[in-house]
Structure formats: structure tokens, C-alpha cells
Amino acid sequence: MTRRSKLTPDSRTADKFVMRISQEMQDAIIELADSPWNARSTNGEYTVGLYNFIHEKDVVVANLERLKIQARKLGLDDVKILSGIKRIAFDRRQPEKDVTCKFVIRLYQNQRDDVYNCSLDQKYDRTMRIFIYEAMYWWLNISLDIRALGLAIAEAQGTVYSVAC
């Protein structure tokens, strides 16, 4: 008996992933993508989130720290501002426990390679799907922090918030 080749590519070479996510996460991704300062597609938000998680994590965290410092200089309590944000929780053991939505994301070859290589890396030690979940939860939560601080600073200065997350 001969073995037939797979008709569908595995996740390392597939041009799309089917993400099974909670309604809460889907709503947060859509809201972030549709926000006036981002104006991206939902797929674009995944792409930006993955890129920033893999390549620009230190830069994004440094930007958040700069916003905290600026808020303190203006007499704002950054801890109080950030404590008022509703976080999106992630359970690594059961990322699909609250699945209510399916969402297809398309990734370019270099993005798939980045995700695949990072998921194999000992530093991360997880599957590609779990890696994407963790990256998106990180991106959503840090974007909420940046937006909240940016809006508070703009309000304190009497200006319009226009910093892209």
C-alpha cells in the first residue's frame, strides 16, 4: 500500500491559520484594528502583533515606559490609569477553552518562518498556535496600556491623542 501525499499543507507551510478564539479576544482585536489611530484590517492587526512580539518587543515596552514617565511628569498616576483597564486573560494550558469564534489569518512566508522558528526556540517552547495566541494576548494588552496612557496624557495636555499603537 502506498501512502498518498497530504492534500493540505502543514502549519509551517500553510498560507493561513484557523484561529479558534473567544468572543472577547475577537472583539478586542477588531476594536484595536478599527480604531482611528490604527485603521488596519483584522488580519493586519495579527500581522503587526506578531511582528512586534517577535522583533520589536523591547521597543514597544520601552515606549510604554516612556509614556509612564511622561504621565508622572504631568502629575498623573500611571498605576491608577493602568489598573482601570480590563485585561484580556490567557490560559496557556487551555487557549481554546472559551472558543466561540473561528478566524482565519493569512501570514506571509517570512512571518510563518518567524513564528515557526520562535515556536521551536527553547526560549519559547510552544506550538505555533500557542505562540500566536500568546503574541496576540501580549499585543492586545500592551496596546490597551499604550492607548490608555496616551489618552490620559493628551487630555492632561489639552491635545488630541494621535500616537499609533
Q: What percent of the chain has pLDDT over 90?
A: 26
Q: Please, which residues bridge with residue 17 across strands?
A: 105
pLDDT tens digits, one per residue of 45-71 = 888 999 999 999 999 999 999 999 999
* Burial annotation 97-117 (CB, 10 A radius, 16+ → b, else e): eeeeeebebebeeebbebbbe
**Is 82 inside a domain boundary?**
yes
Q: Is the pLDDT of residue 130 over 70?
A: yes
In the chain, the number of structural domains is 1
Amino acid, res. 150: G
**Is 104 inside a domain boundary?**
yes
Distance CA 61, CA 54 (A): 13
**Is 29 inside a domain boundary?**
yes
**Is 98 inside a domain boundary?**
yes
Distance CA 17, CA 104 (A): 6
Structural domain containing residue 77? 16-157
**Is 162 inside a domain boundary?**
no
**Is 81 inside a domain boundary?**
yes
